[in-house]
Structure 1
Amino acid sequence: MSGTAASPSPPPTRSRPFRALRAVFRPTRVLLALSLLSLAVLIFLGWCLIRVPVGGGMAPEASPASLILEARDGTAFAARGNLRGEPIPPDAIPRPLMDAVVAIEDRRFFDHNGIDLRGITRAMFRNVFSDRTEGASTITQQLARLLYLSQERSIIRKTQEAMLALWLETRLSKEEILARYLNAAYFGAGATGADAAARRYFGKPATELNLAEAAMLAGLVRAPSALAPTRNPEGARRRAELVLSVMEETGRATPEQVAAARAAPPALRTPPEMLPGRGYIADWVEAEARRLVGPIPIDLAVRSTLDPALQDLAERVVARWLDREGEKQKAGQAALLAITHDGAVLAAVGGRDYATSQFNRITQARRQPGSLFKIFTYAAALENGARPDSNVVDRPVQIGDWAPGNASGGFRGPMTLRQAFAGSVNTVAVQLFQSLGRERVLDTARRMGLRSTMPEGPSIALGSGETTLLEMVSAFASIPDNRVVEPYVVRGVRARDRSLYTRPEVPAQGGRVLSPEAQQGMLDLLLAVVREGTGRAARLDRPVAGKTGTTQDNRDAWFIGITADAIVGVWVGNDDNSPMNGVTGGGLPARIWHDFMVEADRVKTAEAPLPEAAPATTAEAPRQVAPLRGPARVIDTATLRIGNRAVQLAGVIGMRGEYAESMEAFIAGREVTCMPVGDGAHRCTLGDRDLSEVVLSNGGGRAAADAPAELRGYEAEARRERLGVWRR
């Protein structure tokens, strides 16, 4: 072997075939990855596509008629429902509105195909480097979302939005897209669509909008609930300023036009956000209006009977007394209803807090009326021949296992019917109910307006059945005018182009509820309750006829009072029917009633001036004496005051005191017509009743020496019956 060392072997190398395979598979791997990615994108897009809601439609869904609710003086106080307005056709889009919406929502609307990549880039830049927050959705994308999609923020929804936007751009012209967007967008305060918003905020159709108004509407679209002028007028104004600035920046308005718009900001003609306390009567008015006109799918205006000043007053008085005494007396709720003598609802407080509970304790709460029910028993007794001075006895009564007692715990023995009613003596009411019979009393109650079904058993004589404050106020209202009075809250309903309902100015007169003697007797009894009985806390400086009611364990307390101006009822209690701490009808309810009436006198409108006598048409024609007409107040039973004039009833010598109070309650502030008959005397009529006849036939005065024979005959009849001044 030679001594030479062997050379080292070279490092192993990969064979050429493997290098070739690697070169082949590298692009294949990339291609495979791209294919898989594309497949995933296609699957995602397909998934988004199949999840698009079907049947979204290309127009806003129909909705029930929206309502603008107006008080009796025409001022709007609430809006209900979703206002729709009139659809704006593509060829009639108001230019100021088009320019304002395009400028603030999608400045390149007429240049893109549904998705604005340049706008997306610009929005991203401004959102990062400036204080202004700007969205990137086009008007077409917003329309797609409005018509088909939810407000969910997700990648799936955004993808669906983009796909639908591209599809809409192939199906509709730009003008059609913009018109449908303006008709579908929500502008706040219940207004869907630009025309509804224009009518809601400015009292005009969208076609009449000026630049300042259009800028304000355009600014609402992004945050309608937060920026609605009814809720946030300052925010709406600032947003409108921004819209005008963008319009000038994008050339959609000239500097001169913008300056003019800023110099004349829009004047709102719209009700503010509804005050919470008015929710009860708003619900009532809405339900009644829809019942009267039916399902008409157009925007409506409803003229109600509401007196805004009295409504505000009623809410304040109820809240004040519950805040002061509610916790101490364990009284959680109260309701107040005030109506005119023809039934128009002036104020309605259905509970302590509408925001907490929308349950209306005037129309929906069925509670025991307690001693209020006695008006039906006593009215039936008067119709059966009893008189306010008839003798009755307060004594123990036993009917089966039931032995009713009095609130005082004792028995007073002999008394008059007037004293028993004024003191709300239970035993006398039960005796009368038993002697008259259930059917006779309930028949009288139904004639007076009670609609609720009463339970069996004698305890209904003390109000153990259930009824509503609305029914009881209606029943009391039947007494002064002696006819059924149906409370109402709607005077008229109109669409933009026509009247759909108008309440007759003079409702049809029904038959008499009670005999004239029973009616006068009931007024006598009701006046005694406030003058000397359980309702003394409700006394005013003028006649008040009323009745208290309290149920077992003080679970319900009522007071309903009648004056020349109104009938007002108050209920106090708890929704869970738990007992109150000694609250009676003559306590908290009567005090609420008193304060409401005293303060209402300060807000009453002045009486209208009386018409003057018309002159004769020719010199030869005899002079025609015009009758004197107007609401009447009683000085004494022979003297009325109409406006600033004192009027003497012919043939009557008047009386003051309780007789004048009874006559005041009978007239109840209604219009009296008086014709002069000589020597300063007048024959006055109320409806079809001659007041001289009414006074003398009820013993409210004496016949004058010069009284005609017919009036002397009425006096003689009252004397035989020992009525009024002849009862002594």
Structure 2
Amino acid sequence: MKYFLYGILLVLITGLILFNYTYNIFINKSIFSINSNYNTYLFSNGNEIMPPKFKYTKISETPINLLFILLWSEDRDFFGHPGFNLKGFIRAIITNIKSGTSYGGSTITQQVVKNIYLTQKKLISRKILEIFISFWVERSYTKNEILESYINIAYLGNDINGFGAAAKRYFGKELRDLNLSEISILVGIINAPEYYNPYKYPLRAKNQALIILNSLLNNQLISKNEYKVYTQQLNEIIFKKPYFDENNFQLLLAIKNEESKLNLNGGGYIVKSTIDKDLFETVKNTWQASQSAIILDNKTGKIISFFGNQYDVFYSNRQIGSTIKPFYYLLALNKGFNINTVLRDEPLKIGNWAPQNFEKTYKGKTTLKDALIHSINIPSINLFLKLENSPQKSISTVESFLKEIGINGFYPHDITISLGTIESNVFNIAKAFSIFPNYGLIPEFYIIEEIYDKNGNLIYKKSPKIYKKIQNINNKSYSTMNDLLKQVVIEGTAKNLFAKKNEFHGKTGTAESSVWFSGYDAKIVLSIRKDGRFLLSTTHAIPIARKILNSYYSYNPITKVPNFSFYSTKNVVDPFETFISNRFNNKNLYFSKKNYIENIQNYETLFPDLFIKYYNNIKSNNFKLFEFDKLNIQKYINSLDLGDTFIYNDFVRDKLFLEYYFPDLAIEINK
């Protein structure tokens, strides 16, 4: 009797310990927890980048046939048991004693517990933990909630979780559109996803579905005529194999890299990227492994698209060649040099370094303008040396500026940097080129625009932000550089970029093992690189850039970069903020206000809160843009770097695109 009581006491103590232990496991997770590997990734237009591995389905949206067959096959007493089936459990214990493993007897609740809280190892200890945790699950969730969890976490092979994603992957259908034969296949896969893998063993998957259909017929749950129809459908099923495009996979890697920095909990999220599907799909199919390119929105910071291996685009560094020249030419312009500055063009030797012009000819002297437009090396080196009073100081000044604008990579720390021996990647170069159309502003670039949870609720939205404003470079220098880089495209080394004259700016670059083209308009910035020896930027980089830009401009307008005007055309008595506010308060300028909100350069970047507010209220036809405080206006003025804000000049007008976007406002101003 004493030992019997001891035994009961031991069982009670063990039970209490297990209850406490399993409760601590249970409270750390929800039965709706989803692995972070099961997110869905979208292009900016909402199309899927890759076939989804997970798609959340509410029980209210689940076909009744699926619920019925699932319960019939997996757990007929689901709504009657407390989380485990005693008969099934005893059978599993006996099997385990005989073979050392645990089989069968798992209820749907236990399968939810196994997938969410435990491992897939078939051990009796895991089976015991299943039962105890199932108690907590049944106590805390309704039967419908447990069933909904199972519908979404059941493993159905090929890295697919849940019936919603499986329907899409195997049949190319929404779950609600499946017939009984297709449902039977999915339910049949559950017990052995690899053994019944529809891609590897389609006959096995169909035979398992046939067993389910036979069971329904034998129990008079379907008629003989229905059975005949369903078996015929079963024989005709062809499983759809998804096409996994390596280019799309590279997009996914870049998106997941940014996603990892957002500290999301769990998975099942719908991640909407900034990638333009039309542009990406048009260009990717002819892309070569030796190429990398990226196109950015230089106002909002959105990564519109990139092409090639994501490592090459964002991390792989190569010498940039003459791509470097616009940056130190900008420094020279800011120091007082001008387009007519005369530079020496004669054979040059510095120590053991004897650089040459590409044509290996020399003019004796040339202007700063011609040296940049035609990318002449020797006068460029001489300009570089004149930046400071010693070569080493010139090197230090240029390197500091390049790092400030985001060109990270290998620096040789010698005079050869003047011909682009630094090494970087297309993302860094594109980002750096954004200073030219933005007059010194660099936005924060990003690839994830929005994130929704599994129920479709918006939980994250990226707002455009200014990453940096480059100080101590005046607007006149930027404007002059914009004019020069436009001439590069019109008559210089990039003159074959377009078939006709266009408002685009850019610079070529040729290095020992790579060729480049980088360029921009007021809205986008592009950088491309092709790796290999004995290549020329004019014949190998320009055609790649042309293809991307022709595709982009086939459905987007080219946007003119504003010019800086060095003289006043109209004086305004009131300060700039009063001038702007008064002009836009005119009721006759309704359409100008609307266009201003939609199109003003830098609006999204400078006022993300107001941009989002307008975007959310777009249907209300409320276009009262300047109903915000003076602090925002001052931030706007500071960011635009307009100089004297009491003076209205051509630069202000060009910066706001008045004549182009707001003709009625321009007429009103010029009265």
C-alpha distance after superposition, 1:529-575 (max 9, x if no partner): 22222223322432321111111xx31111112245532221111xx
Residue 312 of structure 2 aligns to a residue whose secondary structure is coil
How has the CA–CA distance of structure 1 residues 459 and 561 changed in structure 2, closer, same or farther, with 3 Å as cutoff? same
Distance apart, 1:583 and its partner CA: 0.5
Distance apart, 1:340 and its partner CA: 2.1
- State the aligned residue count: 520
The residue that corresponds to 1:77 in the other structure is 49
Q: 2:273 aligns with which of 300, 304, 317?
A: 304
Q: Does structure 2 retain, via aligned residues, the 8 Å contact 1:182–1:193?
A: yes
Distance apart, 1:448 and its partner CA: 3.5
The residue that corresponds to 1:275 in the other structure is 245
Distance apart, 1:477 and its partner CA: 2.1
Paired with 1:456 and 1:401, the residues of 2 have a C-alpha distance of 16
Q: Does structure 2 retain, via aligned residues, the 8 Å contact 1:113–1:169?
A: no
Instruction: Report 1:164-563 matches (<5 A).
Output: 185-188=154-157, 190-193=159-162, 214-215=183-184, 217-221=186-190, 242=210, 245-246=213-214, 248-251=216-219, 253-255=221-223, 273-292=243-262, 294-319=263-288, 333-342=290-299, 343-351=301-309, 360-436=311-387, 437-452=394-409, 454-482=411-439, 483-495=441-453, 496=455, 498-504=457-463, 507-508=465-466, 511=469, 514-541=473-500, 542-551=502-511, 554-563=512-521
> Are residues 1:586 and 2:586 paired?
no
C-alpha distance after superposition, 1:477-511 (max 9, x if no partner): 2211221133321111222364332112x534854
C-alpha distance after superposition, 1:36-60 (max 9, x if no partner): xxxxxxxxxxxxxxxxxxx9x9999
C-alpha distance after superposition, 1:232-258 (max 9, x if no partner): 9x9999789747734632448444998
Residue 78 of structure 1 aligns to a residue whose secondary structure is coil
Q: Does structure 1 retain, via aligned residues, the 8 Å contact 2:508–2:516?
A: yes
How has the CA–CA distance of structure 1 residues 206 and 277 changed in structure 2, closer, same or farther, with 3 Å as cutoff? closer
Q: Does structure 2 retain, via aligned residues, the 8 Å contact 1:526–1:545?
A: yes
Paired with 2:187 and 2:498, the residues of 1 have a C-alpha distance of 57
Q: Does structure 2 retain, via aligned residues, the 8 Å contact 1:527–1:546?
A: yes
C-alpha distance after superposition, 1:79-122 (max 9, x if no partner): 68x7596999xxx99964453235556999999944999xxxxx
Residue 339 of structure 1 aligns to a residue whose secondary structure is strand
Q: Does structure 2 retain, via aligned residues, the 8 Å contact 1:85–1:199?
A: no
Residue 451 of structure 2 aligns to a residue whose secondary structure is strand
Q: Does structure 2 retain, via aligned residues, the 8 Å contact 1:83–1:190?
A: no
How has the CA–CA distance of structure 1 residues 100 and 138 changed in structure 2, closer, same or farther, with 3 Å as cutoff? farther
How has the CA–CA distance of structure 1 residues 507 and 410 changed in structure 2, closer, same or farther, with 3 Å as cutoff? same
Instruction: Report 1:96-175 matches (<5 A).
Output: 96-101=65-70, 113-114=87-88, 138=104, 140=106
Residue 348 of structure 2 aligns to a residue whose secondary structure is coil
C-alpha distance after superposition, 1:282-315 (max 9, x if no partner): 11111112212x0412421111101111111221
The residue that corresponds to 2:550 in the other structure is 598
Distance apart, 1:512 and its partner CA: 5.7
Q: Which deviates more from structure 2 when the two are superposed, residues 507-516 or residues 200-209? A: 200-209
How has the CA–CA distance of structure 1 residues 667 and 452 changed in structure 2, closer, same or farther, with 3 Å as cutoff? farther
The residue that corresponds to 2:639 in the other structure is none
Paired with 1:102 and 1:168, the residues of 2 have a C-alpha distance of 19
Which protein is bigger by CA-based radius of gyration? Answer: 1
C-alpha distance after superposition, 1:415-459 (max 9, x if no partner): 221211122112222222221123432343345432446331111
Letter of the structure 1 residue corresponding to residue 407 of structure 2: L
Q: Does structure 2 retain, via aligned residues, the 8 Å contact 1:66–1:298?
A: yes
How has the CA–CA distance of structure 1 residues 451 and 397 changed in structure 2, closer, same or farther, with 3 Å as cutoff? same
How has the CA–CA distance of structure 1 residues 632 and 165 changed in structure 2, closer, same or farther, with 3 Å as cutoff? closer
Paired with 1:428 and 1:594, the residues of 2 have a C-alpha distance of 29
Letter of the structure 2 residue corresponding to residue 470 of structure 1: F
Paired with 2:599 and 2:36, the residues of 1 have a C-alpha distance of 45
C-alpha distance after superposition, 1:513-535 (max 9, x if no partner): 64211111111221222222222
Residue 361 of structure 1 aligns to a residue whose secondary structure is helix
Paired with 1:668 and 1:277, the residues of 2 have a C-alpha distance of 38
Paired with 1:299 and 1:524, the residues of 2 have a C-alpha distance of 49
Residue 508 of structure 2 aligns to a residue whose secondary structure is strand
Letter of the structure 2 residue corresponding to residue 70 of structure 1: L
Paired with 1:188 and 1:271, the residues of 2 have a C-alpha distance of 13
How has the CA–CA distance of structure 1 residues 307 and 207 changed in structure 2, closer, same or farther, with 3 Å as cutoff? closer
Task: Structure 1: give runs of 5+ residues left out of the alignment.
Answer: 1-54, 118-136, 152-156, 320-331, 352-358, 574-579, 608-620, 634-662, 685-706, 709-728
Distance apart, 1:363 and its partner CA: 0.6
Letter of the structure 2 residue corresponding to residue 624 of structure 1: N
Residue 559 of structure 1 aligns to a residue whose secondary structure is strand
Q: Which deviates more from structure 2 when the two are superposed, residues 171-180 or residues 598-607? A: 171-180
C-alpha distance after superposition, 1:240-285 (max 9, x if no partner): 97477346324484449989999999xxxx9955422111121111
Q: Does structure 2 retain, via aligned residues, the 8 Å contact 1:103–1:250?
A: no
Paired with 1:345 and 1:209, the residues of 2 have a C-alpha distance of 38
Distance apart, 1:597 and its partner CA: 1.9
How has the CA–CA distance of structure 1 residues 428 and 317 changed in structure 2, closer, same or farther, with 3 Å as cutoff? farther
How has the CA–CA distance of structure 1 residues 204 and 472 changed in structure 2, closer, same or farther, with 3 Å as cutoff? same
Distance apart, 1:317 and its partner CA: 3.6
Task: Structure 2: give runs of 5+ residues left out of the alignment.
Answer: 1-21, 92-102, 235-239, 388-393, 560-584, 601-650
Residue 484 of structure 1 aligns to a residue whose secondary structure is strand
The residue that corresponds to 2:39 in the other structure is 67
Paired with 1:335 and 1:601, the residues of 2 have a C-alpha distance of 20
The alignment's TM-score, normalised by the length of structure 1, stands at 0.58
Letter of the structure 1 residue corresponding to residue 155 of structure 2: Y
User: What is the RMSD computed on CA atoms of the aligned residues?
Assistant: 5.4
Q: Which deviates more from structure 2 when the two are superposed, residues 141-150 or residues 519-528? A: 141-150
C-alpha distance after superposition, 1:123-174 (max 9, x if no partner): xxxxxxxxxxxxxx756499799778879xxxxx8xx79x987997999799
| Bigger relative contact order, structure 1 or 2 (CA pairs below 8 A, ≥6 apart) | 2
Q: Does structure 2 retain, via aligned residues, the 8 Å contact 1:557–1:589?
A: yes
Letter of the structure 1 residue corresponding to residue 287 of structure 2: V
Q: Does structure 2 retain, via aligned residues, the 8 Å contact 1:538–1:591?
A: yes
Q: Which deviates more from structure 2 when the two are superposed, residues 523-532 or residues 370-379? A: 523-532
Distance apart, 1:466 and its partner CA: 1.8
How has the CA–CA distance of structure 1 residues 522 and 251 changed in structure 2, closer, same or farther, with 3 Å as cutoff? farther
Paired with 1:375 and 1:508, the residues of 2 have a C-alpha distance of 22
Paired with 2:232 and 2:68, the residues of 1 have a C-alpha distance of 19
Paired with 2:498 and 2:519, the residues of 1 have a C-alpha distance of 10
Paired with 2:538 and 2:194, the residues of 1 have a C-alpha distance of 46
How has the CA–CA distance of structure 1 residues 216 and 583 changed in structure 2, closer, same or farther, with 3 Å as cutoff? same
The alignment's TM-score, normalised by the length of structure 2, stands at 0.63
Q: 2:667 aligns with which of 650, 657, 682?
A: 682
Paired with 2:214 and 2:86, the residues of 1 have a C-alpha distance of 19
Residue 258 of structure 2 aligns to a residue whose secondary structure is helix
